[in-house]
Structure 1
Amino acid sequence: MDAEGWIAREGALSRVPAAFAGVVEAARARIADSFDDGRLHSAYIYGSIPRGTATPGLSDLDLLVAPHAEPTEADRTAATRIEQALDESFTQIDGVGVLLFSARTLLSELERHDLGFFVACLCAPLLGDDLADHLPRYRPTSLLARETNGDLSLALPGWRRQAATANTDQHRKALSRLVARRIVRTGFTLIMPRWGGWTSDLTESAEAFGLYYPERAEQMRRAAVIGRTPSAVPAVHELIDDLGPWLAAEYATVHGDKAARP
């Protein structure tokens, strides 16, 4: 939070740990090479690396690529190739994810308190003109809570299907990371307006949640551990079948459901 009570942008290229500097430069180069025909508006890095808290060998690389127009199949193919090339080239990172959203979508009124907030506060500019210049500032309100994580109930059925069909340690580990992080972040934004601040740190998020829901605090702490150091052990079922459904129902009661997307 800044001195005026707005949520400050949490990441910057200046905070990237030295161990990840080469990874970030390689990501910048590969994105520029893959979208060199004028399709690219801008690109961003988010997560623990630009926050300066990444751990070599454990942290993943998170990227957002924003074409001018809606992403095409060619854009998605390029993003997959970037993910694979970077993941294979650097032992410092454990997985790469590239999100694709058009600049128009990121600036749309519908996404103002979800993807817009994501760009303005959680992403660090990597290439191109910063879309945050066209977005408002944000406070930790119930509206922000509803629009960022008020759709957890929609994710649960898909996670159950993935858990039932995950047949490799790699798939189970990836699912554990995905589910645990989403659960912890949803738990945090549930209490965010009452807590009166912002954090992306999983441990701090879980502890803040526990102040308001002590009966679920230990479950949330376990979820934070899984989110930081995921394993193939199917502990994710506790999150999908117990904590997740409870959290989705409580979220709807406290903040309401996220606005429907097309």
Structure 2
Amino acid sequence: MILEKVINRIVIQSEYKDFVDKYIDNILTEFKGKIHSIYMCGSIPKGTAKPFKSDADFTIVCVNPKDIDYERLSNIKDRLLEEYPVVTKIDTIICSIDDVLSKPNEWGFWVKIICVCIYGHDVGEKVPPIIISPKFILDLNTETKEEVDHIHSLLSNASDNTMKTRYIKGYSKRLIRALYSLVLEDTGVWQDDIIKMKNAILNYCEIDSALVDYLYACYLDSNVLVEEFLGIADEVYSYFENALNAMAASRTSFG
């Protein structure tokens, strides 16, 4: 089964059009000649963003990611957040053209399936069709442990309540996304709607439903004890890791 694109067409609401145009202009001006293409994912390009509640998710594709200085990128973000309070947060991912083309089940999946191109030539069109398979699911989760360990560390050491809330929400979403990847062969589609992810996990995963419900509740309202959350998160990740290892072993045994 071939994965289809999450966002088939760009529908940016009027409240966000100037912001998106300004972001593109700022990036192209600041990193002149270094940018191959710019992409978005999430609620803004889908046309479902909620003013003062939704964030903006961009991906920059270039020849060499080292050409994009993070401090200069952060300055652009700070200026735009001040000018456009309708946006709560701006996240920008940077990757190379080679990343997208040489890792079709990782960066290729991200650009081809999750994102839509808002500037430049869509390099995702050069990525071959992505077939849902155990290999794809394993490749998709190559960096999941590293990402989970990182956010676990950030949350464990966070002293500011605002950051704790943000990390718990992000950690919950990341774990739900990881669990959802396990049931892709059952659903046949990639979802970016978290409640649809949750429901599919409950339908197809053998994990304790109470753990999934807890993560979803934390995603909606992150006002929970950090120690309690980390305990549940560790339990969920342990289930996920065991399932992934079983998938890898099964794939090896069947050649």
Please, what TM-score do these two structures have when normalized by structure 2? Answer: 0.86
Cα 1:171–1:27 change in 2 (3 A) is: same
Cα distance between partner residues in 2 of 1:49 and 1:200:
13
Residue 10 of structure 2 is aligned to residue 17 of structure 1:
no
Q: Which residue of 2 aligns with 1:58?
A: 53
Residue 101 of structure 2 is aligned to residue 107 of structure 1:
yes
- 1:150 is displaced (CA, Å) by 4.4
Percent of aligned positions with the same letter in both sequences?
17
Residue 2 of structure 2 is aligned to residue 6 of structure 1:
yes
- Aligned equivalent of 1:68, options 43, 51, 63: 63
Q: Give the secondary structure class of the aligned counterpart of 2:73.
A: helix
- Aligned equivalent of 1:44, options 39, 42, 57: 39
Contact kept, 8 Å, 1:172 with 1:233, in 2: the verdict is no
- 1:229 is displaced (CA, Å) by 5.4
Q: Which residue of 1 aligns with 2:146?
A: 154
Q: Which residue of 2 aligns with 1:94?
A: 88
- Write the letter of the residue equivalent to 1:32: L
- 1:195 is displaced (CA, Å) by 2.3
- Aligned equivalent of 2:114, options 122, 141, 153: 122
Cα 1:92–1:220 change in 2 (3 A) is: farther
Cα distance between partner residues in 1 of 2:41 and 2:111:
9
- Write the letter of the residue equivalent to 1:91: P
Q: How does 1:180-259 map to 2 (within 5 A)?
A: 180-213=172-205, 215-227=207-219, 230-231=222-223, 234=226, 236-255=229-248
- Structure 1 segments (4+ residues) deviating >4 Å: 228-233
Gaps of 5+ in 2: 250-255
Cα distance between partner residues in 1 of 2:77 and 2:238:
32
Please, what TM-score do these two structures have when normalized by structure 1? Answer: 0.84
- Paired residue total: 248
Cα distance between partner residues in 2 of 1:102 and 1:67:
5
Q: Which residue of 2 aligns with 1:260?
A: none
Q: Give the secondary structure class of the aligned counterpart of 2:37.
A: strand
Q: Which residue of 2 aligns with 1:259?
A: none
Cα 1:31–1:225 change in 2 (3 A) is: farther
Cα distance between partner residues in 2 of 1:251 and 1:40:
36
Gaps of 5+ in 1: 257-262
